[in-house]
Structure 1
Amino acid sequence: MVAPSRQLRLLSYNIQAGTTTGRYSEYVTRSWRQVLPNNQRIANLDAISELVADYDIVALQEVDCGSLRSGFLNQAKYLATHARFPFWNHQGNRKVGMIAHAGNGLLSRVEPSAIEEHKLPGAIPGRGAMVVRFGEGDAALWLVVLHLALGRRARAQQLDYIAGLVREYPHVVAMGDLNTGPDSRELRSFCDKAGLIIPDSHLTFPSWRPQRAIDHILVSPNMDIAELEVLPVSYSDHRPLSMVVNLHQDVDLPDAGGHANGDDDQYAPKQAS
């Protein structure tokens, strides 16, 4: 095999709006943290920013896009600034008035060539996917950031929709909280339709005692995977999933950019589909 020209470090992380959970009972006893701001959330985001700083591209789920519970803080922007990512984007999805505004996030040291935001089908609205292109033509890398529904029927519809978006592209990475295991019928069907593979499965949920593999990084079969691991941290109710990919000559990405300086014009523009 031809030696790789560079490595790309990827991370997928459901950050639960910056809230920690240490046991199932806390979903009830500490449910107030899902609707009200608290001091622990900022400290948690600072810890997450240190964690993600080592990566080239980070896919975030359950980021708060700026509502009461986050102190009207755009968490994707906060993490980009503190981890010094030059490009970021957020996709607001499920909004509960001014109380909560959940969405997907992208942090990147590689400049995106295009970003599309898609609303996913389902009986209950509020799920979305970001489709991001890095580079041009057949040598481009296509990245999908997604957070799927809890119900199997809705997940199947959402995965069918995403497969239609990416099945023609040669270099695809789809990552996020898929809310289903690697052997589920809908995920296997998606891989067949989209031309992707599940490199391996790792237990990511719940973070305090992982028992389910519901966070995934799916890739095109021609992607050269050097590492895939779960990081042993508990800043959320999920653990983050990390992948290192060897890039060869058939994938041509822009060089990783500099560091974010906090100015809005340094970040990737939002391009809604």
Structure 2
Amino acid sequence: MRRFLVQLSVAAIFLIVSCSSRKIQSGTISGDVIKVMTYNVHHCNPPGKPDVIDVDAIAAVIKQQGADIAAVQEVDVHTGRSGNINQAEQLAAKAGFGFYYFGKAMDFDGGGYGVLILSRYPLTDTITYSLPMAEEKGGEPRVLAAATATLPNGRSVRFGSTHLEAYNNTSRILQIKEISRIAGEVTLPFIVAGDLNAAEGSEVIRILDADFTRTCYKCPSTFWEGNETGAIDFIVSRPKAAFHVLSHQVVQNKEASDHMPVVAALQLKQ
């Protein structure tokens, strides 16, 4: 009986050690997986409610997805139409992100309007690149906000948030070419996410595909505005050998914004 108890104790210790070892291995694998999100939040103005700003609703949608890093477009900072609040700061706090970077695209209504990076990881080397516009009149200034995110395992990736021109295709083409040029100078694995205002099959996406790998092809619709729908919000990465796409999802939420969140899991290869 005593011998049996000793054997049982040894077996139990072996089982505990084995379980601990599996947890460590699992943690190592998950540390290389980055859950990425892109979301055009329409300055936190819900569809059909022109005078309402609901940061809490947008933050709840973002928080629910559990992303590690997110690209957010159409963000107001201290603008009159949004009640002079700092939406970038509030979204970071309410959605549970410890780090954020706001890239202002333009002055608007007493404040700034642009794109945002939300991150659970420390951000360094932040910069906002102005993107070109066509010479003809019309359109809004656009930017690429970029930062380096340091993962818990010590590895780093470059991440960018952008929003291309909505109504001028010539500007969009110039802008995606500039993003490709910028990406060509980046030595780290690079993820770019945002509202590209361009559908699959367009020249913009053909240019994009020459330098980046998308997380989806024949993608589900990401926005709705009246009778208009389509996939115009994308998550892309480069170089191709740097990432493995584990999943891609469009979250079916039409209450908080006129765009739906796009979420993808990317595994950073060794």
- Shorter chain as denominator, the TM-score bin is 0.7 to 0.9
Asked if structure 1 preserves the Cα contact closer than 8 Å seen for 2:249 and 2:264, the reply is: yes
Asked if structure 1 preserves the Cα contact closer than 8 Å seen for 2:149 and 2:157, the reply is: yes
Alignment-mate amino acid for residue 70 of structure 2 = V
Alignment-mate amino acid for residue 125 of structure 2 = A
| Paired position in structure 1 for 2:258 | 237
Question: 2: CA distance between counterparts of 1:202 and 1:167?
Answer: 29
Is the helix fraction higher in 1 or 2?
2
Question: 1: CA distance between counterparts of 2:228 and 2:264?
Answer: 18
Where relative contact order (Cα < 8 A, 6+ residues apart) is larger, the structure is 1
| Paired position in structure 1 for 2:29 | 4
1:148 corresponds to which of 161, 164, 176: 164
SS in structure 2 of the partner of residue 62 of structure 1: strand
Asked if structure 2 preserves the Cα contact closer than 8 Å seen for 1:94 and 1:126, the reply is: yes
Which consecutive segments of 4 or more residues in structure 1 shift more than 4 A?
A: 207-210
Alignment-mate amino acid for residue 134 of structure 1 = A
Question: 2: CA distance between counterparts of 1:110 and 1:10?
Answer: 12
2:222 corresponds to which of 197, 204, 211: 204
TM-align CA RMSD: 2.3
Asked if structure 1 preserves the Cα contact closer than 8 Å seen for 2:215 and 2:264, the reply is: no
- Which 5+ residue runs of structure 2 have no aligned equivalent? 1-27
**Pairwise mapping of residues 116-127 of structure 1 onto structure 2 (< 5 A)?**
116-123=127-134, 124-127=139-142
Structure 1 residues 9 and 207: CA distance shift in structure 2, 3 A:
farther
* 1:59 equivalenced with 2:71 (yes/no): yes
Question: 2: CA distance between counterparts of 1:247 and 1:197?
Answer: 13
| Paired position in structure 1 for 2:198 | 180
Structure 1 residues 74 and 202: CA distance shift in structure 2, 3 A:
same
Larger radius of gyration: 2
Question: 1: CA distance between counterparts of 2:69 and 2:84?
Answer: 25
| Paired position in structure 1 for 2:23 | none
1:50 corresponds to which of 60, 64, 84: 60
Asked if structure 2 preserves the Cα contact closer than 8 Å seen for 1:93 and 1:128, the reply is: yes
**Pairwise mapping of residues 248-267 of structure 1 onto structure 2 (< 5 A)?**
248=269, 250=270
Asked if structure 1 preserves the Cα contact closer than 8 Å seen for 2:121 and 2:149, the reply is: yes
Alignment-mate amino acid for residue 267 of structure 2 = N
Asked if structure 2 preserves the Cα contact closer than 8 Å seen for 1:116 and 1:132, the reply is: yes
Asked if structure 1 preserves the Cα contact closer than 8 Å seen for 2:215 and 2:234, the reply is: no
| Paired position in structure 1 for 2:144 | 129
TM-score w.r.t. length of structure 1: 0.76
2:121 corresponds to which of 110, 115, 133: 110
Deviation at 1:170, TM superposition (A): 5.2
Asked if structure 2 preserves the Cα contact closer than 8 Å seen for 1:207 and 1:236, the reply is: no
Question: 2: CA distance between counterparts of 1:153 and 1:116?
Answer: 25
Deviation at 1:199, TM superposition (A): 2.9
Question: 2: CA distance between counterparts of 1:207 and 1:232?
Answer: 14
Asked if structure 1 preserves the Cα contact closer than 8 Å seen for 2:121 and 2:150, the reply is: no
Deviates more, 1:218-227 or 1:102-111: 218-227
For these two proteins, the number of residue pairs brought into alignment is 227
Asked if structure 1 preserves the Cα contact closer than 8 Å seen for 2:46 and 2:257, the reply is: yes
- Which 5+ residue runs of structure 1 have no aligned equivalent? 251-273
Q: Deviations over 1:142-161 (max 9, x none)?
A: 11110001221111111111
Question: 2: CA distance between counterparts of 1:81 and 1:95?
Answer: 24
* 1:216 equivalenced with 2:241 (yes/no): no
Question: 1: CA distance between counterparts of 2:29 and 2:212?
Answer: 21
Question: 2: CA distance between counterparts of 1:202 and 1:218?
Answer: 15
1:79 corresponds to which of 66, 88, 91: 91
**Pairwise mapping of residues 21-60 of structure 1 onto structure 2 (< 5 A)?**
21=47, 33=50, 38=51, 40-42=52-54, 45-53=55-63, 54-60=66-72
